[in-house]
Structure 1
Amino acid sequence: MTATVAEILADLWQVAGGHARALDDVVLTGAEPALASSFRVGAAAQASIAAATLAAAELWRLRTGRRQRVSVDMRHAAVEFRSERYLRVAGRPATELWDKIAGTYRCADGRWVRLHTNFPHHRDGVLALLGCAYDRAAVAQALAGWQAEAFEQAAAEAGLVVAMMRSPAEWDAHPQGRALADLPLMRIERIGEAPARDLVGDPGQPLSGVRVLDLTRIIAGPVCGRTLAAHGADVLLISGPHLPSVEPLVIDTGRGKRAAHIDLRTPDGKDALRALVREADVFVQGYRPGAIAGHGFDPAALAALRPGIVCVTLSAYGEAGPWAVRRGFDSLVQTASGINHAEAEAAGVTEPRPLPCQALDHASGYLLALGAMMALLRRAREGGSWHVRVSLAQTGRWLRQLGRLDGGLAGPDPGLEDVRDLLEESDSTFGRLTAVRHAGQLSRTPPGWRRPPVPLGAHPPTWQDT
């Protein structure tokens, strides 16, 4: 029997270590399908946003002794799962998110591969591997001479991001799929000793006074930081001045955050980050596995530097298995893990069919925020330093386990005019912004972003007293 959204939420809440009685405060409205998909993306959106919002309510209850109602509408949650599509700057659509050669191609063996070339070094690496011009037709011709899995492996060995389309059964039989089968959706582990630490200051919002270092890019990790900011956290987005970015995503996920540049390749940069860590509560990172650790900021080092810190780690393919250190993005994980194949079968087509949103990114973002807030609760009650781990591939496995929707592909595909009631406007240095409001609502501490998004590196790498 297919689980209800309330049951899905209860399972998420149990995985996160929450008390079942808190679920009595949740009100869920709306019905499936919320978007055109055979997968339950609306249920995933509503449940993951509700779980994160409930964690915020529990933190506020811990601080004040007062409960509040949590409400999430499925339509609103599904729209927020593709918030980047509805962003408008000065009334104009954001610039194109995808590079011109990104996407799917058929190889010599008839199988499909997906290329992710949005970052210049990934694009240039793919073109060098193929030995062809920066042109979609030239890439297609070059890939017609490769076996799909051989190209996927060659790209991985070159540090590039490419995935071959597999069926769900192929993924489940793959060594990486088998490794994920033994892992929980989310892991929250105690990694060090520290005294219990209450959240201090005026609890105007659940996370008032909480300091978050956000070392993430693109969607999943930034959504985590955006969610924590919506509930009052002081979120400082740290990026390197030399690193590529995608400006529309910076704008959409940067609401509520300050932003600073630190170059971790330099001793001064490492010292600057250490100084920030010594006063931080949460450290979120979503770079390729080993990258941040290689600069001396692995969870054990962070816990030694700041006992009581909550470390939050996002990976593409999980913490175990042969692909544990492999780079990846939502679209690649959808392709590798059977989701594109299953969606194509439901649509009666042969080419890879993506989900109607970056569901693995967005769901993982809310799961990261959920884990961070539940770890803060644990720290307040038990003490300790904590490590939260989430991966896009484990989130994809969870989505698959939610079941399928007969006729789901006939669901809605709302455009901008269809969601006007879910949008808000604000001023920023980028121009007047139109963006999706947060779908997770609290009756006593309504979430929202008190700071507009700013360009990367707009602020000094310091904490603010107010």
Structure 2
Amino acid sequence: MKLLQKMCDTLPAFEGNLYIDQISFRNRNIGSEDVFSVTELAANSIALAGAALIQYAFGHDALDRQIIVDQRLSYFWLGSSVRPVRWSLASPWDDLAGDYQTQDGWIRLHTNAPHHRNVVCKILGDLDRAEMAKQVETWSGAELEDVISSEGGAAANLMSTSMWNSHPQAIALSKEFPIISEMFEGTKLRHVINPSIDQARPLKGLKVLDLTRILAGPIATRFLAGFGATVLRIDPPLWDEGDHVIDITPGKKCATLDLSKCADFEIMQKLILEADVMVHGLRADALEKLGLGDEERRKLNPSLIDISLNAYGWTGPWRNRRGFDSLVQMSTGIAQHGMEVSGLGTPRPMTVQALDHATGYLMAATVLAGLNQLKTKGQAMSAKLSLAATAELLKSTRKDKFGGTSPVKAGSDFLPDIKQTSWGNIQRLKSPIMFSGLDMHWSSPAIRLHSSAPMF
């Protein structure tokens, strides 16, 4: 319960202590092949989102409701929730992505997006993996990391926890709240949350504008859609996420806008005005450069619940640095600790992308806490989260030996009904969280990106 208590304490506008006794966990002895308690992180973050949901949906009556979280299913939801029926998912990784040895250690190159791969090839050459490895060996890790990042690419030099703790970005992060929040008084609010809530679908009618991509933000909005929210995801033209899309788009609409075009920019302004919630995971300065910074969004919609995410934190020299779960693991000492315990001499990240998934549920919990604050006190909320802050939560569960064998999915872990999608038929994992009278399910199957009109 220590980790859950920490999470409750980080969540703004949420009296977590009132709900801890209502949360019970099944299959507590489920471990994983990791040197951190990733199953505990998963189950606790899902539990927190559930507690924030019932607080918003049921008010004082929420204290009579039990929340049950299955730790086995929680672990599985750290990966894909999809089971293809007689077809297979493609690999989520580009052929050049992964760990490479440098002059003085290791670096991870993230090349899944075409523009990130192009940066790496521009600097190191358009090479196959073996030749790329030879080129990387001629660089120091920190130097190559900086060059790739300065060119708009994504890479992370392997650091130990002590190296990270002395890094200027870690020092800046240590001075931030894990979730940075700001409240706005209700006198200027345009939107008022309807006090009459459908208790079976408590987020029905809620409009969520989703400007997030791989992977934490889409997990947050998938959770919200699972309880009735209308989620409109916006991507730039030609953006693709491969077979990740089937996992994270059920219950959503997926549209396209090019914000460099005046007409599309005006549509985005109208969507912000109409939305109840906006969730975005762009670099810290990206919306500001487009003319949609914090102040501009708040002027457009004073009652907006505005939740943003970045990789490394909101102050310090890396606030605008591109980052992903696997890169933050390299930077913050997680992969190095795994390497040290394994004794294999190569980076040993977690077996799952726990930072992305846990942060997604923390984002969902923050949205719901903000909605409750708006409903009960007439205050709107903005909040900022980061993968690096979630990494610090995980690192508090550090162990000095591997946790054993990870559980393996069985047919009984999936819902029996088969859903039709444009990729093929699928089954989806059973919900990891259970309430009396509430069921997580989606009003529509997963859809492809760029397939909807940009309207709620």
Distance 2:3 2:225 in 1: 25
Corresponding residue for 2:261?
Answer: 266
Question: Out of 213, 236, 239, which is 2:235 matched to?
Answer: 239
2:103 partner letter: A
Structure 1 position 427, deviation (Å): 1.7
Aligned counterparts of 1:345 and 1:33: Cα–Cα separation in 2 = 24
TM-score by length of 1: 0.92
CA deviation after TM superposition for structure 1 residue 299, in Å: 2.5
Q: 1:25 aligns with which of 22, 25, 49?
A: 22
Find out whether 1:295 has 2:287 as its counterpart.
Answer: no
Return the letter of the residue paired with 1:206.
Answer: P
Q: Give the C-alpha shift of residue 289 in structure 1.
A: 2.0
Which letter does structure 1 place at the counterpart of 2:259? L
CA contact (8 A) 2:38 2:394 kept: yes
Residue 323, structure 1, aligned to residue 318, structure 2: yes
Hey, what's the Cα distance between the residues in 2 that align with 1:267 and 1:57?
Answer: 41
Identical residues among aligned pairs (%): 31
Q: Using structure 2 for the length normalisation, give the TM-score.
A: 0.94
1:377 pairs, out of 350, 369, 372, with 372
Residue 98 of structure 1 contacts residue 118 of structure 1 at CA under 8 Å; is this kept in 2?
yes
Match of 2:115 among 97, 121, 130: 121
Partner Cα separation in structure 2 for residue 200 and residue 297 of structure 1:
30
The letter for the 1-side match of 2:208 is: V
Counterpart contact for 1:87–1:93, Cα < 8 Å: no
Deviation of 1:191 (Å): 4.5
Is the Cα–Cα contact under 8 Å of residues 107 and 148 in structure 1 kept in the other structure? Answer: yes
Kindly indicate whether the alpha-carbon contact (under 8 Å) linking 2:54 and 2:62 is maintained by their aligned counterparts in 1.
Answer: no
CA distance in 2, matches of 1:214, 1:438: 22
CA RMSD for the aligned pairs? 1.9
The 10-residue stretch of structure 1 (191-200 or 448-457) with the greater mean CA deviation from structure 2: 191-200
User: In 1, Cα distance between the equivalents of 2:446 and 2:400?
Assistant: 37
What amino acid maps onto 1:385 in structure 2? A
Shift of 1:405: 6.2
2:146 maps to 1:150:
no
Residues 60-459 of structure 1 aligned to structure 2 (within 5 Å): 60-62=57-59, 67-82=64-79, 84=80, 87-109=82-104, 111-130=105-124, 132-191=125-184, 193=186, 194-195=188-189, 197-200=192-195, 202-203=197-198, 204-243=200-239, 245-404=240-399, 406-408=401-403, 410-414=404-408, 416=409, 418=410, 420-423=412-415, 425-459=418-452
Spell out, residue by residue over 1:180-220, the C-alpha distance to the aligned partner (whole angstroms, 9 max, x if none): 11222222321465448333555132212111001111110
* Deviation for aligned residue 1:260: 1.2
For structure 1, which segment, 282-291 or 179-188, has the greater mean C-alpha deviation from structure 2 after superposition?
179-188
Inter-partner Cα distance in structure 2 for 1:27 and 1:251: 30
For 1:238, the aligned partner's letter is: I
Deviation at residue 297 of structure 1 after TM alignment: 2.1
Decide whether aligned partners of structure 1 residues 269 and 31 sit closer, same or farther in structure 2, where only a CA change above 3 A counts. same
Q: List structure 1 segments (4+ residues) > 6 angstroms apart after TM superposition.
A: 63-66
Aligned residues: 450
- How far 1:23 moved relative to its partner? 2.4
Indicate the larger mover: 229-238 or 183-192: 183-192
- Give me the whole-angstrom Cα distance separating, in 2, the residues matched to 1:134 and 1:122: 15
Contact 1:101/1:136 (<8 A) preserved: yes
Indicate conservation of the 8 Å contact 1:201/1:208, yes or no.
no
Distance 1:141 1:65, change over 3 A: closer
